[in-house]
Chains A and B, each alone.
Chain A
Amino acid sequence: MVEGTRDNGSIAPLLEHVGPYNEFPEEYQLQSAIEALKSVKVLVVGAGGLGCEILKNLALTGFKNIQVIDMDTIDMSNLNRQFLFRPDDVGKSKAEVATRFILERIGDPTLNIVPYYGKIQDKDMEYYKQFNIVVCGLDSVMARRWLNATLVAIAQKLGQVIPLIDGGTEGFRGQSRVILPGFTSCYECTLDMVPQKVTYPVCTIANTPRVPEHCIEWASVLQWPKHFSAHEKFDGDNPDHVDWLYATALSRAKEFGIPGVTRSLTLGVVKNIIPAIASTNAIIAASCTNEAFKIATDANPFLNNYMMYSGDDSIFTYTYAHTKNVNCPVCGDNFKEVKCQRWWTLEKFIDVLINLQSIQLQNPSLSTTNGVQLYFRAPPELEQLTRENLSIKLIDQINPATEQIIVTDPNLPISLNVKVVFEGPDKEPQDINYLLRQ
């Protein structure tokens, strides 16, 4: 089994003896397990905190064919956990630097790692279908949804089931899960478990700030667009931008006597920073690659299908089989029901859709199942053409008994079917307090 200097000594006992918990001991064969590790193609999505760990773990447990995708470059604040990067690497591609480091350290001519510096959306189904396992260590919900939907589509259209092993961490907590597209619950099935970003009502930010976060949001949401032209978008990695925002938030806080605005808090709020440490990434990545190892070699059963981990109050894990959501727009074949007040315009309805926990979109376009275009973001001509529908009540544009709404979004490779249930008054209720104040 020796190949290169790093032999398989650390995994040989796992492969050579069938354990008593192997569910199909008669079918297990040492030679096919060894062959599998050599031939299985693994895609690692993300070369950050989890990705660095995942690459190391795969390389040290016998996998030989790995590709890694990441669109990010290395930042100074990555160095407290992303152990394949050094200060001199700041600004370079994570996927490329990580690949180079692993290849050099492992020193095995049969180990093949191919980096791709770019977005997962750059690649199509043809690309993804070449893999046997996908291990995903991302911090973006949208990217995970896209990847999940792509793998489910490959299972549905090509009948090819590519296990998706997904990890995520936050502070001392994390989770790992195994998704068998078409068989287990998918990422979209559990979308409502994703914690929602804290938002603050605009009227509080504008009129009655109380806590430092209100002052920071005032600076970033209301003041930045006023002081900078539309094309100068706020960039959290630009220290001048952060300094301006911090100073603006601080002066707002002083004016109202609100303590607690700091530069660190400002950064945390505007960049939505999630605390991260190496040890949690190590735990979750190891859990993910342990599942990959068992799936590839058939040496033991794998996780069914979700493990939650928490280390901030002693240590706690909870493993359970998350059931499929029959209404899942990706792996189920049903529609989602969304309630709509009779008086809502299309614009108001879209606004509600964007913020709905079970839908969460960024730039949705809407049409009906009868082929009527309600609103399209692009191309500009179509946007122009459908824009006037925004101010018309939705109830006047569709027949809920016979049609549903198809929602698409450039960030999702699928469309959602939404069944609208109308309720409430035909006219917008008048706010008594509002009238009295006039």
Chain B
Amino acid sequence: MRVSLNWLKEFLDIETGVDGLAEKMTMLGLEIESVERPGAEINKVVVGQIVSIEPHPKADKLVVCKTDVGQPQPVQIVCGAKNVRVGDRIPTALDGATLPGAVGIGCRKMRGVESCGMMCSAHELGLGEDHSGLMILEPNAPIGQDIVSHLGLDDAILEVEVTPNRGDWACMIGVARELAALFETPIRVPEVHIAEGAQRAARLSSVTIEAPELCPRYIGRLLSGVQVGPSPSWLCQRLLAAGQRPINNIVDVTNFVLLETGHPLHAFDYDKLSENRIVVRCAKQNETLETLDGQVRKLDSSMLVIADAERPVALAGIMGGHDSEVGESTSRVFLESAYFEPVSIRRTARALGMQTEASVRFQRGADPEMALFAINRAAGLVQELAGAEVAAGLLDEYPNPPAPVEVELRYGRSDDVLGTCVAPREQRGILERLGFVTVRSSDAGCVVRVPSWRHDVSREADLIEEVARLHGYDKIGVTLPTVRQIDEILAPEEAKLRALRRFLVGQGLTEVFNWTFDSAEAVRKCGLPEAYLDMVELQNPISEQNAAMRSTLIPGLLATASRNLRHGNLDLAAFEIGPVYGPAKNDQELPDQYTRLAIALSGRKGTHHWGRAPEPYDFYDLKGYAESALGFFGVYVQFDAADFGPFQSGHCGRASWAGQPLGYLGMVGKEVLRAFETEQAIFLLEFDLDPLLAHRPPPPEFQTVPAYPASLRDMAVVVDASVPAGELEATARQVGGALLKRVEIFDVYSGKQIPEGKKSVAMNLFFQADDRTLKDEETLASWDTILKHLQERYGAQLR
């Protein structure tokens, strides 16, 4: 909300400068987002009157004006505006003037004719967007007066963020009330003067509330002989300062009173109301109403409307109807000031997609008592500005005024919660300054009646906040609590995940952090199985590509990899750890959430160095990372050849642990790469982490450090190329006997000297005994056994 300092000063004396005031308001909870000083950049601009206009000798589109600026001689100004007219009063920048945007004005020749100054449009003064022509001032504007004071631009506009609990702040009186409590100074509420006529309102109209639970109070006033016309400049200034455009005196008064009191009003053309009366009721199913914005609204029975004898004439608390709108021909006005129930207004506004000044205020809770002041204030102003006659009496339907809310404050409790000590007198004083009325009081506390505008206060905690706020948050000290902990680890996986992140980063991988949104299309692009299309969909996504919660990390990581490759980041070793989601199972309310790890490698590995040619990543680098990451969890994982959507056949494997598949790894297939607009090979894996996170391996048990040296033997055999090398290794382990401690494949070779379709596999066999140095014969026996089995099982030949 925009708060004009000049306007605010009408309600109370403010001695602080604007910066100090902004600071104080912020510290009260009325956060100031910005301070605007509209006139600060305008200098040496005065009210001028055009006294003569001559054609420009050299330019058709320019004229030469003489303008009276209150000096002995008029100034000569060359002007290009279309709306120049002798006698008009215009904001005129003098020689040496400055305008917003640090524009300087001086004397210069325009196509050969001396021009000393400039006549300004509203836009040039920084007052709105209108630069179609000169800004025409009122005919009685004092010539020579400084434009800043003439237009009331010597003001500061404070942009206040009003929190949703404090609807009462969204008006001048509300802000003034709060500041008055802070500064301990009285507030000046404008006096209302109405000269009521002889005619009685009750004779002319009536108000019937059929839905009192949705409309607890409805007040009407009748005004006749209204002359619709422009508003005076003081009123326009107030509206402009608040960021509103003046329309006509009737509409402007209702807007003005809204800004002043926070209470939305509505004016109906009395003569357009069927039977000239008001019925507050729920809409009938499928009833329609054309609202002021020209839209025809289809209503339902949950929506509260203001109707006449026949049909709805306004959407209660949201927007008036087109047919009963006040226009230039209006002479009799029915003025409405009502209190509507917030939830109903909110629902209707939501259902119809309408948010208006009025609806926002009713939703946050208006003040039913303010309704009366607001209507009288408005009636008085309309009488003053539009020459209206005000009918005698109010039509005030208020069948069940709410019982006042009373809340107790215990001073000791307040001190305990705040951790400070505020004297009981100060505590009570704060509440009273804020408009709370003490009902009962003792040494230990008080019971106060909550003012009608404070819908946010209903319990002691709310009063404690008031005490803290006015006492000053900054005056409350700082202490450190004793933090007591329960004997249970609530999220054991958290620490493990943090450690895993560090571990992987230490292994040279860089972490990516993607949005958890995804789309079925992206899943299809990866060639993933159907099951992955079963996604948790959003009803209101930001876009098609983000229409669901991801079911896998693969599309996101592939997209990240591809984007990097396309941006020239050609070497990539990345991982992501994060949640994926699966639809709710059976009778579960919420979808399932799983934690996954994905790794992607592409380009060349290692840091690049002058002494060593970089090598490209291959599948075994990926498998190495897989083994390393799984090793972190202390589990032994089985890898098998497999086929899986995103991966190239023959370059893909499945990892399983304890018979349970953990995920797949492989080289991304050509078609998938194409779908992600890249050609460079990408190696990718995705594993489930949940079973690993839940796994708590026992702490490793100490093994004796061998005291006798190991003996090493090599074995190189030639087998069919299709025989997995791992099986040879496993066989060796299986049959090698107790002395064989370790088997390592150190070379796999095919090519020269090896027959077509065959390969050579070379292994290191480590033998060791705990109690002696082994003799050759002992290891040779084992070696022979291994070879025999390899020959039998795989047709292996010693190389």
Q: Do A and B come from one complex?
A: no
Query: Taking beta carbons and an 8 Å cutoff, which residues of A are in contact with B?
Result: none
Query: Taking beta carbons and an 8 Å cutoff, which residues of B are in contact with A?
Result: none
